Amino acid sequence: MNTPLLPPGAEVERVPLEGGSVRVLRGGSPRGPALLLVHGGSSDNAAISWYRLFAPLSRKYHVVAPDLPGFGGTTGIDPVGGPERQADFVAALASELGLADVVAVGVSMGGDTVLNLALRHPRLVRGIVLIAPGGLVPALRGRTAQRAAWLFTRLPDRVLLPAARLANRFVGTALRTVVRDVSALPDEVVREFRREALRADAGLGYLRYNQAVIGPRSMRNNLLPLVGRITVPALFFHGRNDPLVPPEGSREAVRRMPNARLALVSDCGHWAQLEAHERFLAELTDFLAGLEE
């Protein structure tokens, strides 16, 4: 229960950065094209989001997946907050690892980070893949919901952190609010999600992200006015039944971006790369092949 999950095909590397230690999962040959994978929020980490992808992708690509500060096995670095700072952190890590010309893949909060990576560090990325990405809605559904969410994030840590720890004990309930069918998830992923949720500082990284992006009347991370500036090829992959991030944001982003397409998956919730693994791997493989033509 206390042993961190390691996806098949992955190895663990510790990278000193910003006075701390970043846990990075790596697979494949460093000589192959680089895929930089950015996990989501809540009780996520690199091993959870990308558990099913390391083995198939490592056969051809150099796969790199870090735990962001405040998540997983990364230690000694305070959570950086919003997606802009997360993007800068990922870019600094990529530089430390000698990565360039990467295809960046992000899910949920990590999709928000990858969009910002493409905007803030365009020379680093040659293509992006966004799975149910955050950062593409002007506001939460309804003024009351927006105001309530903002007020909650304004509470002091002495209130928020115990509340997060209490909520994290109900792992089964949390998963049922994220995925269409919990039985579609590997048992190993469910166990790691539970282990991550019960860490002493679990939720702190996601809390700092939400404090940065949720405003009293609107979302501070809405990138729809800016995504048209992203010209690299982009693939959006979104579950049609996503209960957390409306697919409409992905649809609108694709409409505004010059080189983007959307794969919308029926009977699929928020963790689309895990729930619809075979479909995602097929779409991703086709996208990557197109970049090499």
- The CATH number covering residue 68 comes to 3.40.50.1820
- Does residue 146 belong to any structural domain of this protein? yes
**Per-residue confidence in pLDDT tens, the chain, 293 aa:** 578 999 999 999 999 999 999 999 999 998 889 999 999 999 999 999 999 999 999 999 999 999 999 999 999 999 999 999 999 999 999 999 999 999 999 999 999 999 999 999 999 999 999 999 999 999 998 899 999 999 999 999 988 888 877 777 777 778 888 898 898 899 999 999 989 888 878 889 999 999 999 999 999 999 999 999 999 999 999 999 999 999 999 999 999 999 999 999 999 999 999 999 999 999 999 999 999 87
The residues with which 12 forms a beta bridge, in sequence order, are 25
Is residue 104 within 8 Å of residue 86, measured between CB atoms? no
Look at residue 175 and give its three-state secondary structure.
helix
- Does residue 187 belong to any structural domain of this protein? yes
- Does residue 3 belong to any structural domain of this protein? no
- Does residue 284 belong to any structural domain of this protein? yes
Whole-structure pTM value: 0.96
Would you tell me how many other CB atoms lie within 10 Å of the CB of residue 182?
13
Domain assignment of residue 274, given as a range: 11-292
CA pair distance 273, 234, nearest whole angstrom = 16
Cα 272 from chain centre: 12
> Tell me: the pLDDT tens digits for 7-32?
999 999 999 999 999 999 999 998 88
- Sheet containing 102-107: give its strands across: 11-17, 20-27, 62-66, 34-38, 102-107, 125-131, 234-239, 260-265
- Does residue 4 belong to any structural domain of this protein? no
Query: What is the tally of structural domains in the chain?
Result: 1
**Among candidates 231, 251, 210, 223, which has minimal Cα distance to 138?**
223
List, as one string, the DSSP characters of 103-169.
Answer: EEEEETHHHHHHHHHHHH-TTTEEEEEEES-SS--SS-SSHHHHHHHHHHHTS-HHHHHHHHHHHHT
> Tell me: the pLDDT tens digits for 60-98?
999 999 999 999 999 999 999 999 999 999 999 999 999
Which tokens is 235 given?
Answer: 């693939």
